[in-house]
Amino acid sequence: MKLTAILGASARQRAISLIEGVLYLVIALAVIVGGIVFFQ
């Protein structure tokens, strides 16, 4: 029972980090595209 709880917690942590990575990627792309459009 304890093992499944630990696995669930690690999976949740991995999902959170994955979502954060996607968010940072989207923000970085938006900044890059915005900068290119702004400086043209």
Domain boundaries, given as residue ranges, for the chain: 1-40
Enter the pTM of the model. 0.60
Per-residue confidence (pLDDT) for residue 1, from 0 to 100: 57
Per-residue confidence (pLDDT) for residue 8, from 0 to 100: 75
Per-residue confidence (pLDDT) for residue 4, from 0 to 100: 72
Per-residue confidence (pLDDT) for residue 3, from 0 to 100: 67
The span from the CA of 32 to the CA of 26, in Å, is: 10
Residue located via tokens 């499944």: 4
Kindly report the backbone phi and psi dihedral angles of residue 9, in degrees, each rounded to the nearest multiple of 5, phi listed first: -65, -45
The span from the CA of 27 to the CA of 2, in Å, is: 38
Q: Which residues of the chain have pLDDT under 70?
A: 1, 3, 6-7
Per-residue confidence (pLDDT) for residue 14, from 0 to 100: 81
- Consecutive H or E run containing 40: none
